Structure 1
Amino acid sequence: MNHKKQAELILEAIGGKENINAATHCVTRLRLALNDEGIVDDQKLNDIEAVKGSFSTNGQFQIVIGQGTVDKVYKELVAIAGIGESSKEEVKEASAKKMNPLQRGIKTLADIFIPILPAIVTAGLLLGINNILTGPGIFFDEESIIDVYPQWEGIANMIFIIANTAFAFLPGLIGWSAVKRFGGNPLLGIVLGLALVHPDLLSAWSYGDAVEEGSVPVWNLFGLEIDKIGYQGQVLPVLVAAWVMTKIELFMQKRTPDAIQLLVVAPVALLVTGFLTFILIGPVTFAIGNFITDGLVGIFDAAAALGGLIYGGLYGVMVITGMHHTFLAVDIQLIGSTNTTFLWPMLALSNIAQGSAAFAIMLASRDEKLKGLGLSSGISAWLGVTEPALFGVNLRFKYPFIIAISSSAIAGLYISSQGVLANSIGVGGVPGIFSIVTQYWFDFIIGMVIVIVLPIIATYLYAKRKRDV
């Protein structure tokens, strides 16, 4: 492949060098901040040999090239366009200028939660292994593996401790990522987050029982009694506290002499934020978080099937707009408050449905390039990353996307009516079954069959009838 020629064709298709604000790349994709995405010639772009698909998300125009090739095409592209190589952060900043306030808010949440996602997903997979070892009725009637083989109990408990750490100290992870995103010192974010789950505090999971018993410990601050409680599994308290602490830190940095900054800025910012959090921010946001959780649980308790139909069907649409990132925070809040989430299983099925539709296009197509794109993007979606399938295949032909979200709506209706729950956030695709509470495995498998069989058959038959692939 002539990488220079491919870069020239790509540059022409996206509107020339004048249309590029900034450019970088990841493992498989060119990531561009374009001045005007409306002048991109999608047909010409997708006909280029090196291009396996393209899509726009969060203000970035991304072109799927493939591992091992993308960096070579990128170097030729920036050389021909006469622009310098940009970092991912520079491209993000250039892309953010085109966003409205809602999009910027969603992007901020994404920037906070995506960096900690590997830790959360890894914890989910490990908890899945623990579920297999401790769940009764999987391999033996009404007994678990550790019931039959007690020598495995220590291993199961060790796996649980390693896996549960990410959730037990979640505010520490969020604090680090949030303060980093807001422009402060990430180490202070870690300290702030861990302070909210200090062992000397009453655990948030024990707070309800302590209120009923009237045994909630308190601090007496000159006559003002403050509940001495932690915020395990909570999202909002640490998010707001991180923002407040960063503002205080940056304010003081500008007004404190360099010689004493180390002695003044961090201690004051952390201490003031800590007091504000335990006195005001924590109680208010804790109540808001519980209100959101109780509201969602109430809605799904009242109309589980309808909720599953709507959320299962709309999740794929939310991925297009980027709004799905907001529900990552909701899932984490649900797990922190109830130890389970009923939303995440529908996410996993929605991703599988998009992958199945892409596989169907692969089977129906006579074009070798489209076959390859359908295969690679389908596998990616089945492993939890749907953007290549969504933007490279399904939205390109429209009907695969419609069939996929219809299938995931049906599957969402079914698993919600059966009360399927996940212990944690895992890989949002086929491996997601390991994050499902073991007693709901059979119902989740039925949901998986729905989102595998329906999209493949319906998309394949429609594609053969339409003959556009």
Structure 2
Amino acid sequence: MAKSYEEIAKEVIEAIGGKENISSFAHCATRLRIMVVDKDKIDKDKVDNIEKVKGTMFNSGQFQIIFGTGTVNKVYEAVQGLGGVSESSVSDMKKEAAKQGNVIQRISRTFGDIFVPIIPVLVATGLLMGLRNVITNPDFLKLFGATPKGINENFLLYTRILTDTAFVILPVLVAWSSFKVFGGSPVLGIVLGAMLISGELPNAYVVAAGGAKPLTFFGFLPVVGYQGSVLPALFVGLIGAKLEQRLRKIVPDVLDLLVTPFLVFVVMSVLGLFVIGPVFHSVETIILGVTRWILGLPFGIAGIVIGGVHQIIVVTGVHHIFNFLESQLLNTPDPITGEKLNAFNPLITAAMSGQLGATLAVGLKTKDLKLKALAFPSALSAALGITEPAIYGVNLVKGKGKPFVMGLIGGAIGGFFASVFKLKATGMAVTIVPGMLLFLNSLPLYILMVAISIGAGFALTYTMVKLDK
């Protein structure tokens, strides 16, 4: 009989040393994140054996228990319900763990904290883009005796509203989330983000297409809207939140409501439009250019490299920075083709599929019933785009870590295929099975790429890895 979430919560607390050993706890999309007083009191094996636990790890000063999407929310609520444990928001926990990890890990963690609340919107938009591409595809319409010219203009306008809005207002979303992460008032972030894309400024997309010219300030400084940009909004959020915190310490309480937001708006609008915006938009352009160059390397090199190392980057915990790269690929027309597509997504899909294949091989080959019971649900989780249970629960810890290495090779092989055939997604943040909706115009090639990655990871693991008894 399955245990209740209250029972699971009690077992978790007991296995990590009791309530007195918990400094604070929070959760993200898949993991219960716990700051502990003494990590030596944690019985990791006991935690790993708790029902519904798919793996555990220490990262960024936190003991993280992987439950998977949906389940983690229910376990978190059950822990809350037990009482006597210090609850924390992810942003508060981030502050507690601020001194943990190296600089790259801290930067990645910050990107993750900012982007995680935004990703559902970008996922939905990406799926809608995929569906729009299908219903406007001449070959698809031909099956019904129709052509693109026969589609109602108002319907096309409606689809553009559905698919373009989230990316146009991306600076608003990023500034809002940045203010929240860095301890400011999110509503100030919303307004400052909106200032960056004000209708009074020339639209960045129109300027890029040659349909408008930038405004010139001070006789030399070109200024446009920052539609679709990430870095300007992120740094407006960072600096604006810190400015707000400083002002609230020095402005008298009786004047705080009027003076603080007024000064934040004035200072940050000037910095955002005339300093932060131009500087970091240029940085963003350079990063995007380098990314496109790497993705455009011949002979499938990009696929081999990214498909082969992406899951290593996941293990280091700095993979959240790729959210920025993917959003920029989808936001900026390719200088040669003019398309707004994501060539990074199929490569990381290949990397994840390689780990999926390795996990399936472990599950089929092992005689350990407990490992079988762990491997197959972890493989299912990987098929839905979440590889942490497969990595931390199976591939890294079994067979002396060789299944993980075989999975990396499988990812490199699949990535090579994706690069050679120039696979590109219409969205971001979903992979493998859900990711099919991002490749509706090239679905057979996508499925073949996933099958190659899974097959290679499976075959290498099954034939070359001797599992521990």
TM-score range, shorter chain: 0.7 to 0.9
* TM-score normalised to structure 2 length: 0.85
**Residues 63-78 of structure 1 aligned to structure 2 (within 5 Å):** 63-64=65-66, 67=71, 70=75, 74=79
Per-residue deviation at 1:433?
A: 2.6
Q: 1:258 aligns with which of 249, 253, 273?
A: 253
Per-residue deviation at 1:284?
A: 1.4
Are 1:134 and 1:145, in contact at CA under 8 Å, matched by a contact in 2?
no
For the residues of structure 1 that align with 2:6 and 2:378, how far apart are their CA atoms?
A: 25
Match of 2:359 in 1: 358
Are 1:348 and 1:430, in contact at CA under 8 Å, matched by a contact in 2?
no
Match of 1:345 in 2: 346
Q: Deviations over 1:125-173 (max 9, x none)?
A: 11111122112334748xx986279457654542331122111111111
For the residues of structure 1 that align with 2:464 and 2:261, how far apart are their CA atoms?
A: 62
For the residues of structure 2 that align with 1:62 and 1:337, how far apart are their CA atoms?
A: 36
For the residues of structure 1 that align with 2:217 and 2:25, how far apart are their CA atoms?
A: 55
For the residues of structure 2 that align with 1:198 and 1:334, how far apart are their CA atoms?
A: 23
Query: Structure 2 vs 1, CA of residues 250 and 88 (structure 1 numbering), >3 Å: closer, same or farther?
Result: closer
Per-residue deviation at 1:286?
A: 1.3
For the residues of structure 2 that align with 1:74 and 1:169, how far apart are their CA atoms?
A: 36
Are 2:128 and 2:163, in contact at CA under 8 Å, matched by a contact in 1?
yes
For the residues of structure 2 that align with 1:170 and 1:292, how far apart are their CA atoms?
A: 18
SS in 2 for 1:96: coil
For the residues of structure 2 that align with 1:456 and 1:94, how far apart are their CA atoms?
A: 40
Q: 1:34 aligns with which of 33, 36, 41?
A: 36
For the residues of structure 1 that align with 2:159 and 2:78, how far apart are their CA atoms?
A: 43
Aligned length: 455
Query: Structure 2 vs 1, CA of residues 429 and 156 (structure 1 numbering), >3 Å: closer, same or farther?
Result: farther
Are 2:135 and 2:141, in contact at CA under 8 Å, matched by a contact in 1?
no
**Residues 378-393 of structure 1 aligned to structure 2 (within 5 Å):** 378-393=379-394
Are 2:9 and 2:75, in contact at CA under 8 Å, matched by a contact in 1?
no
SS in 1 for 2:24: strand
Q: Deviations over 1:91-138 (max 9, x none)?
A: 444333433333222211111111111111111111111122112334
Are 2:288 and 2:328, in contact at CA under 8 Å, matched by a contact in 1?
yes
For the residues of structure 1 that align with 2:434 and 2:30, how far apart are their CA atoms?
A: 22
SS in 1 for 2:424: coil
For the residues of structure 1 that align with 2:242 and 2:467, how far apart are their CA atoms?
A: 58
Are 1:383 and 1:429, in contact at CA under 8 Å, matched by a contact in 2?
yes
Per-residue deviation at 1:55?
A: 2.5
Q: Which moved more, 1:307-316 or 1:33-42?
A: 33-42
Indicate whether 1:186 and 2:186 are aligned: yes
Q: 2:291 aligns with which of 281, 291, 296?
A: 296
Percent pairwise identity? 34
Are 2:27 and 2:33, in contact at CA under 8 Å, matched by a contact in 1?
yes
Match of 1:197 in 2: 197
Q: Deviations over 1:333-388 (max 9, x none)?
A: 22222322221221222223323332333333444443332232222221122212
Are 1:355 and 1:378, in contact at CA under 8 Å, matched by a contact in 2?
yes
Are 1:126 and 1:160, in contact at CA under 8 Å, matched by a contact in 2?
no
**Residues 436-447 of structure 1 aligned to structure 2 (within 5 Å):** 436=439, 438=441, 440-447=442-449
Q: Which moved more, 1:349-358 or 1:410-419?
A: 349-358
Gaps of 5+ in 2: 334-339
Q: 1:216 aligns with which of 213, 218, 233?
A: 213
For the residues of structure 2 that align with 1:298 and 1:28, how far apart are their CA atoms?
A: 33
Query: Structure 2 vs 1, CA of residues 201 and 375 (structure 1 numbering), >3 Å: closer, same or farther?
Result: same
Query: Structure 2 vs 1, CA of residues 50 and 434 (structure 1 numbering), >3 Å: closer, same or farther?
Result: closer
Query: Structure 2 vs 1, CA of residues 423 and 378 (structure 1 numbering), >3 Å: closer, same or farther?
Result: same
Per-residue deviation at 1:48?
A: 4.9
Per-residue deviation at 1:253?
A: 1.8
For the residues of structure 2 that align with 1:239 and 1:6, how far apart are their CA atoms?
A: 38
For the residues of structure 1 that align with 2:30 and 2:234, how far apart are their CA atoms?
A: 32
Indicate whether 1:238 and 2:240 are aligned: no
Q: For residue 179 of structure 2, what is the amino acid of its counterpart?
A: V
For the residues of structure 2 that align with 1:336 and 1:3, how far apart are their CA atoms?
A: 41
Q: For residue 166 of structure 1, what is the amino acid of its counterpart?
A: A
Per-residue deviation at 1:446?
A: 2.3
Per-residue deviation at 1:84?
A: 2.1
For the residues of structure 2 that align with 1:24 and 1:185, how far apart are their CA atoms?
A: 21
**Residues 23-422 of structure 1 aligned to structure 2 (within 5 Å):** 23-24=25-26, 30-35=32-37, 37=39, 40=42, 42-48=44-50, 51-64=53-66, 67=71, 70=75, 74=79, 84-89=85-90, 90-138=92-140, 140=142, 147=147, 150=150, 154-155=154-155, 157-210=157-210, 216-221=213-218, 224-303=219-298, 305-338=300-333, 339-397=340-398, 398-422=401-425
Q: For residue 425 of structure 2, what is the amino acid of its counterpart?
A: A
Per-residue deviation at 1:208?
A: 3.4
Are 2:131 and 2:440, in contact at CA under 8 Å, matched by a contact in 1?
no
Are 1:57 and 1:322, in contact at CA under 8 Å, matched by a contact in 2?
yes
Q: For residue 123 of structure 1, what is the amino acid of its counterpart?
A: T
Gaps of 5+ in 1: none
Query: Structure 2 vs 1, CA of residues 41 and 275 (structure 1 numbering), >3 Å: closer, same or farther?
Result: same
Q: For residue 99 of structure 1, what is the amino acid of its counterpart?
A: G
Match of 2:337 in 1: none
Are 2:323 and 2:429, in contact at CA under 8 Å, matched by a contact in 1?
no
Indicate whether 1:433 and 2:428 are aligned: no
Per-residue deviation at 1:34?
A: 3.1
Per-residue deviation at 1:11?
A: 6.0
Per-residue deviation at 1:17?
A: 6.5
Are 2:395 and 2:404, in contact at CA under 8 Å, matched by a contact in 1?
yes
For the residues of structure 2 that align with 1:363 and 1:153, how far apart are their CA atoms?
A: 53
Are 2:201 and 2:215, in contact at CA under 8 Å, matched by a contact in 1?
no
Query: Structure 2 vs 1, CA of residues 426 and 134 (structure 1 numbering), >3 Å: closer, same or farther?
Result: farther
More helix by share: 1
Query: Structure 2 vs 1, CA of residues 319 and 259 (structure 1 numbering), >3 Å: closer, same or farther?
Result: same
Q: Which moved more, 1:57-66 or 1:107-116?
A: 57-66
For the residues of structure 2 that align with 1:145 and 1:35, how far apart are their CA atoms?
A: 67
SS in 2 for 1:396: coil
